[in-house]
Amino acid sequence: MSDDEFMMDDIADDEEYDFDYDDDDNDAEEDAVGDVENQYYKAKALKEDDAQGALKAFRTIVIDQPEKGEWGFKALKQMTKMNYLRLHEPEKALETYRELLSYTKSNVTRNYAEKTINNILDYVGGEGKHAAKAPKVPLDTLEKFYEVTRVACDEAKNERLSTKCNLKLAKLWLDRKEYIRLHPILQSLHATCAPAANSVSSDDQSKGSLLLEVYAMEIQMYSDLKETRKLKAIYNAAVQVRNAIPHPRIMGVIKECGGKMWMQEKAWGKASEDLFESFRQYDESGSAQRIQVLKYLVLNTMLMGSDINPFDSQETKPYKNDPQIVAMTNLVSAYQRRDVQEAERILKANQATITNDPFIDHFVGDLLTSLRTQYIVDIIKPYTRLELDSLADKLNIRRNEVESLVVSLILDDKIKGKIDQVNGILVLDRFGMAQRKRYQALGTMAAELNVLAGKVENEKLGVKDGGARANSRPLKLQSSLRSSHDTTGSSPYKKAYSSHQMTLERITTSEEAKAHARQAIHEYEKKKNPGSGTEHEHRVAGGYKAALHNPNVSQEAKQHAKEVLKEHDV
């Protein structure tokens, strides 16, 4: 900033402070005021050419005023600014600033005093339009500026200015990464945000906005410290605040840190939502951070494997050709073409705008891995066998890296195949999963049909002869048993018994045949314990007679029964 601009700022500050005087003031007072005013502007005129002379003139004004009034306050303001920004003597600036704070209890209006103090704290903290002229000051000296301000505010019971002072100090420590000094300030601000028992809605809204500002600083601190658990807790608390109207920049900070947190967890969908909202809030507030957040949004879009171009939206399209964004635009184009070599060239050629950011650089490896895996999936489609060395040459990486990528694709079911490590060949299964499932289903259906066909065939046989066909041999055996009175358990007798047992167990045997088998088994048991032979013969004959009258017994079986009955004259 030029000296002319420096002087114009002082004039603007003076013009914003107007004083009204009673018409009853006597001429002596008017003359005294006129003399002090003339001295003030003469001292200001010396600032450009004679800084020390200007300081002496301003000091004279302070001494000559017996009461602490407006011109003494203005003179001390100019002395503080000159000592700090022009002469780079922060200790002397601190002395004049202490004097200035004592004037806030007198005739200086509260609003003007607050504005002056805020401006001084801005350039002391390296902010505002005079930040470029601020010298490097020891942290202890900086802290004293804010400490004396807080003491003065407490004495004046000016809670609003005290809170602003704490916020400025917290931001100063945050920017300088002095987290040990920052933590107690944040705790004090949290206590200020606590709602009072008799507070009105406007007070709660104001405290809600302040709370979001405190959360924004905490989120930045924990994000920088990589304390993910605390970061997520503060983030979740911040998004739950409803009764607040925060500045868009504050919401931009919260959503930016939230988006970066989700990216670390590879929750690409949530990251995309938060980063886009952060970009929109920064854009609304006019913050230059919107460009950096847009880079994060583009990076996240590629990492999530989306084919949507992030520059197609109405909000991001105006920045597509921004000098800091062009490299990311070209990277997106290369990614969508699956051009690995072009993507690597863009990353190497644009380190200043891409990889110099530690956060982006952290994900470059993941980005290239994603691009290479998609390239492999596309290039292997026409092949059934492919050499790993050939893939390594095309991707410009080592064979073991290619093998690792292929293994991950196989495990993720993105490609079907196996690796012949001896010959270094990827053998692909050309039958897709859907085809294999189809053939498996056909095989299962064929097996079930075969079982069903067997059951149908058995059912047909059972209906046709009532199961007697299966029992014809047992009937003949029973006939032979009838003629031989074998009660010793000979081999033919045992075979007949076993046959009747099988008849009972066969599901296709008719009920009549089963009844006959049960009767025969009963007779067998009776022969093992001999009783009346005549009774036994009558029972066997009854079984054959029943078979003759059973409509379900085949003609062949009936003919056999007749022959047995005729042979024994029954």
Q: Among 168-177, 265-274, 410-419, 503-512, which is the least confidently predicted range?
A: 503-512
Q: What is the rounded distance in angstroms from the CA atom of residue 97 to the CA atom of residue 90?
A: 10
Q: What is the rounded distance in angstroms from the CA atom of residue 118 to the CA atom of residue 113?
A: 9
pLDDT of 257:
95
Which residue, among 98, 104, 105, 107, has the nearest Cα to 79 in the 3D structure?
A: 98
Q: Among 217-221, 409-413, 555-559, which is the least confidently predicted range?
A: 555-559
Residue 97, token pair as written in the block: 């600033």
Question: Of 566 and 301, which is predicted with more confidence?
Answer: 301
Mean pLDDT of the 117-139 span: 83
Interval 410-421: pLDDT, tens: 998 888 888 988
Mean pLDDT of the 235-258 span: 92
Interval 45-56: pLDDT, tens: 888 888 899 999
Chain centroid to Cα 51, Å, comes to 58
CA distances from 269 to 301, 371, 395 (A): 9, 19, 28
pLDDT of 462:
56
Chain centroid to Cα 210, Å, comes to 27
pLDDT band, residue 484 (cuts 50/70/90): very low
pLDDT band, residue 197 (cuts 50/70/90): low
What sign for the dihedral angle of Cα 66, 71, 77, 83?
A: negative
What sign for the dihedral angle of Cα 242, 243, 247, 253?
A: negative
pLDDT of 470:
42
Q: Among 23-32, 225-234, 370-379, 449-458, which is the least confidently predicted range?
A: 23-32
Number of H helices, E strands in the chain: 25, 3
Interval 289-309: pLDDT, tens: 999 999 999 999 999 888 788
Interval 490-542: pLDDT, tens: 444 555 555 555 555 555 555 666 666 666 666 666 555 554 445 555 655 66
**Of 65-79, 120-134, 442-456, 474-488, highest mean pLDDT:** 65-79
Beta bridge partners of 55: none
pLDDT of 200:
54
With beta carbons less than 8 A apart as the criterion, state whether 237 and 214 touch.
no
pLDDT band, residue 202 (cuts 50/70/90): low
% of the chain beyond a pLDDT of 90:
34
3-state secondary structure 98-142: HHHHHHHHCCCCHHHHHHHHHHHHHHHCCCCCCHHHCCCCCHHHH
Mean pLDDT of the 15-19 span: 44
Q: What is the rounded distance in angstroms from the CA atom of residue 327 to the CA atom of residue 344?
A: 12
Residue 546 has pLDDT above 90, yes or no: no
Q: What is the rounded distance in angstroms from the CA atom of residue 62 to the CA atom of residue 102?
A: 12
pLDDT of 59:
93
Mean pLDDT of all residues in the chain?
A: 79
pLDDT of 66:
74
% of the chain beyond a pLDDT of 70:
72
pLDDT of 167:
92
In the numeric block, the tokens 């914003």 are attached to 16
pLDDT band, residue 478 (cuts 50/70/90): very low
pLDDT of 33:
58
DSSP 318: G
pTM attached to this predicted model: 0.65
Domain 1-189 bears CATH identifier 3.40.50: no
With beta carbons less than 8 A apart as the criterion, state whether 479 and 568 touch.
no
Alpha-carbon Rg for the chain in angstroms: 50
With beta carbons less than 8 A apart as the criterion, state whether 249 and 281 touch.
yes
pLDDT band, residue 149 (cuts 50/70/90): very high
- Helix 110-124 vs helix 90-102: crossing angle, to nearest 10: 170
Residue 188 has pLDDT above 60, yes or no: yes
What residues have CB less than 8 Å from 120, skipping those under 6 apart? 77, 80, 81, 97, 100, 145
pLDDT of 499:
57
Beta bridge partners of 425: 387, 420
pLDDT band, residue 145 (cuts 50/70/90): very high
Residue 75 has pLDDT above 60, yes or no: yes
Q: Find the angle CA(239)-CA(362)-CA(390) to the nearest 5 degrees.
A: 130
**Domain chopping of the chain, boundaries:** 1-189, 467-567
Q: What is the rounded distance in angstroms from the CA atom of residue 479 to the CA atom of residue 345?
A: 100
The CB density around residue 517, as the number of other CB atoms within 10 Å, is 26
